[in-house]
Chains A and B, each alone.
Chain A
């Protein structure tokens, strides 16, 4: 290589690095990128939390834009966002609850009482607001795993074709809604 070009290399490398440092300044290092975005929603076939004989699958949700909200009564942040989610429901947003039961692990032979859980959820939703059209219960957590959920609350935006548009970790609040969801809702 020509010496003139050789001595330019350090500068070029440095400038390239600066571009990344600049971009890095404006992104949150703690935010993990989801592998699910722009992918099809994984297949699910789950019972309704309140009426376990009723089952929900991808086919039933086809053709509408909706949110899936992973939550649990044991998670304070989930409770905190119920109010705002309810407000969204009143504005016409369809929100499906995906209930994450933390205390139960089938591998350890834990016992589980559906009746108690239903009562607890009903009480909570009466108190804090009910944003959900319905709640699904994923007891063996297969769907939750497929979605790549790392903790509750997490919220997914799914479009008419069943493609995931947004995977948000943490609570949904007006700021997050405006920045991440609203542009894709056609609002």
Chain B
């Protein structure tokens, strides 16, 4: 009964969304305020009904209702309760339902927080969001309902959740990523609404900015945690694979990053207007494209989801309507926009323009690398594969100008700067970056490759320049307290990226690993640590059994820690899973994975020593924080105060 109610509430939600699309768009077209005023209540209403539907699926999963096909395929009675909840987005149908919840949530949030927007703009933004929701709901109701029953013959036990997804990282990774993807639909809606009203002024950029920042923050956090999950769960210490599905999340992130910067220029200087609109359309389009890639099975990936051409057709058609429609509107309207501001070569405008170019080039590289194998094959030119070396090389080239620019740009003023003054501003930073990095690296390591040195120096350069900028801005403002939160957000984001660059450079260059055969009592050394294998003990979890290799770690004779590297076998699917043991410190990770049992009581064991790998995720979190900190900036707060009074 409950699942049927879930399906029914989703149907109601879809009807509300159809109205949410029609009423305000018609109202805005004819100037009918009453129709436009209906939009916010409809937006909140559909959110409530989508939530009910989602609650129904969670209920079915928690009560082990294996008559529901989705629950039977993605859960089991022995699964811990929290994984029963997360299993509701562990499969295709549930993941799309989660997407709907996010979509509905963002729509409701926009409806509630946009009170000071002029009605024609507000109505159109909500109408666009309503339209997007209709597409996804139609898809869920017609092609991928998670509420379908397996009656009359249903299994007594479910097939269990894929063990790879039974990890805390997986509990939060998909929701965060979806928050980001879907959040970008708000920027998209603002852009489309601005094109529809024909007012591509600073105002839409100002309104769109906090939403874009929030969505981007979620996306950053989602990607960071996804990378952490891959590292902890896949058992071989990698943190980024250039897998098509990862690329699908990286592309919208790159474009959204460009969009953030471009929005700032448009808001403050009234230039780059049509470019910013295009970026807003592109960011969400790439989110949709990513979904299409993941969900259609068009590209082979480790994220193997069931592929179904009918579903693929639907998403492709939806993609064509949304993106094709958006770009058509752009082609019709953006040609008429003209820019006002003027600026010279050494100006912040040009720096941000270059930032955008580099980010877009990076996106195109990822897009090409991801889709070229498919295009190549469809052209009848044969199968090719593009892998890690291509992406790594391209990103190494791109990061150099990007990081140089990133360090320099915040100290540039709008409009123009004198070249002579710039030398004084940057001289110290360059010297510190070059000298300090050399002292640090040559002091700590025997071999320093040029690429490692360069990347580390770039990271140091960004940090030094950020510090210098902070001092300068503090003295200009009088005190640190006077600096706005958006300024702090910028610093956080930039320093976060510097940490990521540094971590990638050092961990790529100085990670060491050993694949050994060990007998209990034997000792192995790696990276200045001694690892004593104390043997294997049997473990028993709620839905798995397995072995844990116990390893005591010593540094210079002193015991550092004891690690348990597990190998689990899940009862239902009989899959083997490696649960790596990680001892993490900022300066290094010790990473142990238990291998196979060998003859004579020996086991194979893989040991990694990964310097500074943890700093990467710390950097990712700092970058994400930037997206959230900015939301508390005074200028957005003041608005909400005004709303409260109104």
Is B335 an interface residue, CB under 8 A from the partner? Answer: yes
Inter-chain contact B300/A30, CB cutoff 8 Å: yes
Inter-chain contact A26/B309, CB cutoff 8 Å: yes
Inter-chain contact A24/B298, CB cutoff 8 Å: yes
Is B297 an interface residue, CB under 8 A from the partner? Answer: yes
Inter-chain contact A24/B378, CB cutoff 8 Å: yes
Give the interface segment out of B317-325, B386-394, B438-446, B483-491. Answer: B317-325
Is A14 an interface residue, CB under 8 A from the partner? Answer: yes
Is A54 an interface residue, CB under 8 A from the partner? Answer: no
List, in ascending order, chain A residues with CB within 8 A of B239's CB.
none
Roughly how many angstroms separate A35 CA and B324 CA in the complex, as a whole number? 36
Partner of B378 from A11, A15, A23, A35 at Cβ < 8 Å: A23
Q: Mark B370-404, 1 if CB is under 8 A from A, else 0.
A: 01001101101011000000000000000000000
Is A91 an interface residue, CB under 8 A from the partner? Answer: no
Given the interface pairs A14-B285, A22-B316, A26-B309, the reply to whether A7 lies near B335 with Cβ below 8 Å is: yes
Cβ-Cβ contact count across A and B, 8 Å cutoff:
68
List, in ascending order, chain B residues with CB within 8 A of A18's CB.
316, 319-320, 324
Inter-chain contact A20/B327, CB cutoff 8 Å: no
Is B274 an interface residue, CB under 8 A from the partner? Answer: yes
- Nearest Cβ on chain B to A38's Cβ, whole angstroms: 11
Of all chain B residues, the one with the shortest Cβ separation from A25 is: B312
Is A133 an interface residue, CB under 8 A from the partner? Answer: no
Give B323-343 interface residues, CB cut-off 8 Å to A: 323-324, 327-328, 330-331, 334-335
Roughly how many angstroms separate A33 CA and B383 CA in the complex, as a whole number? 6
Inter-chain contact A21/B383, CB cutoff 8 Å: no
List, in ascending order, chain A residues with CB within 8 A of B300's CB.
29-30
Partner of B327 from A4, A10, A30, A32 at Cβ < 8 Å: A10
Roughly how many angstroms separate A10 CA and B191 CA in the complex, as a whole number? 15
Known pairs A7-B330, A25-B312; list 7 more (Cβ under 8 Å): A4-B335, A7-B331, A20-B371, A24-B299, A25-B313, A29-B298, A35-B382
List, in ascending order, chain A residues with CB within 8 A of B374's CB.
20, 24, 29
Given the interface pairs A25-B312, A33-B383, the reply to whether A20 lies near B297 with Cβ below 8 Å is: no
Inter-chain contact B312/A32, CB cutoff 8 Å: no
Inter-chain contact A14/B324, CB cutoff 8 Å: yes
12 inter-chain pairs at a CB distance below 8 angstroms, sorted by A residue, are A10-B331, A11-B331, A15-B324, A20-B375, A21-B298, A24-B377, A25-B296, A25-B312, A25-B316, A29-B297, A29-B374, A32-B383
Is B121 an interface residue, CB under 8 A from the partner? Answer: no
Which chain A residues have a beta carbon within 8 Å of chain B's beta carbons?
Answer: 3-4, 6-8, 10-11, 14-15, 17-18, 20-27, 29-30, 32-33, 35
Roughly how many angstroms separate A67 CA and B202 CA in the complex, as a whole number? 69
Which chain B residues have a beta carbon within 8 Å of chain A's beta carbons?
Answer: 274, 278, 281-282, 285, 292, 296-300, 309, 312-313, 316, 319-320, 323-324, 327-328, 330-331, 334-335, 371, 374-375, 377-378, 380, 382-383
Of all chain B residues, the one with the shortest Cβ separation from A34 is: B382
List, in ascending order, chain A residues with CB within 8 A of B371's CB.
17, 20
Roughly how many angstroms separate A30 CA and B136 CA in the complex, as a whole number? 28
Roughly how many angstroms separate A22 CA and B274 CA in the complex, as a whole number? 29
Roughly how many angstroms separate A3 CA and B285 CA in the complex, as a whole number? 23
Inter-chain contact B316/A7, CB cutoff 8 Å: no
List, in ascending order, chain B residues with CB within 8 A of A24's CB.
296, 298-299, 374, 377-378
Of all chain A residues, the one with the shortest Cβ separation from B312 is: A25
List, in ascending order, chain B residues with CB within 8 A of A22's CB.
316
Given the interface pairs A3-B335, A10-B282, the reply to whether A27 lies near B378 with Cβ below 8 Å is: yes
Roughly how many angstroms separate A35 CA and B335 CA in the complex, as a whole number? 47
Inter-chain contact B299/A29, CB cutoff 8 Å: yes
List, in ascending order, chain B residues with CB within 8 A of A15's CB.
324
Roughly how many angstroms separate A25 CA and B377 CA in the complex, as a whole number? 12
Residue of A10, A27, A30 most packed against chain B (CB within 10 A): A10
Of all chain B residues, the one with the shortest Cβ separation from A23 is: B378
List, in ascending order, chain B residues with CB within 8 A of A25's CB.
296, 298, 309, 312-313, 316
- Nearest Cβ on chain A to B504's Cβ, whole angstroms: 30
Inter-chain contact A7/B334, CB cutoff 8 Å: yes
- Nearest Cβ on chain A to B348's Cβ, whole angstroms: 25
- Nearest Cβ on chain A to B176's Cβ, whole angstroms: 27
- 3 closest A-B pairs by CB: A11-B327, A24-B298, A25-B312
Roughly how many angstroms separate A24 CA and B374 CA in the complex, as a whole number? 7
- Nearest Cβ on chain A to B380's Cβ, whole angstroms: 8
Residue of A17, A24, A35 most packed against chain B (CB within 10 A): A24
Roughly how many angstroms separate A29 CA and B307 CA in the complex, as a whole number? 11
Roughly how many angstroms separate A29 CA and B328 CA in the complex, as a whole number? 31
Roughly how many angstroms separate A21 CA and B295 CA in the complex, as a whole number? 12
Roughly how many angstroms separate A72 CA and B312 CA in the complex, as a whole number? 38
Inter-chain contact B330/A20, CB cutoff 8 Å: no
List, in ascending order, chain A residues with CB within 8 A of B334's CB.
7
Inter-chain contact B298/A14, CB cutoff 8 Å: no
Inter-chain contact B316/A21, CB cutoff 8 Å: yes
Of all chain A residues, the one with the shortest Cβ separation from B380 is: A33
Roughly how many angstroms separate A32 CA and B382 CA in the complex, as a whole number? 8
List, in ascending order, chain B residues with CB within 8 A of A21's CB.
292, 296, 298, 316, 319
Roughly how many angstroms separate A119 CA and B187 CA in the complex, as a whole number? 72
List, in ascending order, chain B residues with CB within 8 A of A27's CB.
377-378
- Nearest Cβ on chain B to A5's Cβ, whole angstroms: 9
Of all chain B residues, the one with the shortest Cβ separation from A29 is: B300
List, in ascending order, chain B residues with CB within 8 A of A29's CB.
297-300, 374
Inter-chain contact A20/B378, CB cutoff 8 Å: yes
- Nearest Cβ on chain B to A52's Cβ, whole angstroms: 37
Partner of B330 from A11, A23, A26 at Cβ < 8 Å: A11
List, in ascending order, chain A residues with CB within 8 A of B296's CB.
21, 24-25
Inter-chain contact B378/A10, CB cutoff 8 Å: no
